[in-house]
Amino acid sequence: SQQGEEDPQALSIQEGENATMNCSYKTSINNLQWYRQNSGRGLVHLILIRSNEREKHSGRLRVTLDTSKKSSSLLITASRAADTASYFCATFSPNFGNEKLTFGTGTRLTIIP
């Protein structure tokens, strides 16, 4: 099973609406990061939230983290066509000697103009 699993796998909304994507994980973490990937491009880091933080904002992005439920959500407000991309959460766990970011399968977001 995967450490990070995004939900839903695919999401289509009208431009201007808000988009919410969720991520669940299984083990304790130091931090959780969200990345965006446009088709044919590399992943771009969006935001990092540490395990002792509950909410973080960056522009139109809002990330929440609930360590008791081992889940996070990414909210994109007032979506734009340029937000069309795949979004991945990645967790970093405190496992000395085996420290790496673990990615999920991603949510494919389509913004309909």
Partner 1 sequence: EAGVTQFPSHSVIEKGQTVTLRCDPISGHDNLYWYRRVMGKEIKFLLHFVKESKQDESGMPNNRFLAERTGGTYSTLKVQPAELEDSGVYFCASSILGQGDSPLHFGNGTRLTVT
- Residue (5 or 15) nearer to partner 1, CB: 5
Interface with partner 1 (CB under 8 A): 2, 4, 30-31, 33, 35, 40-45, 48, 88, 90, 92, 97-106
- Residue (42 or 113) nearer to partner 1, CB: 42
Q: Which residues contact 63 (CB under 8 A, 6 or more apart)?
A: 32, 34, 47, 49, 55, 56, 57, 72, 73, 74, 75
Least separation in angstroms between CB 48 and partner 1: 6
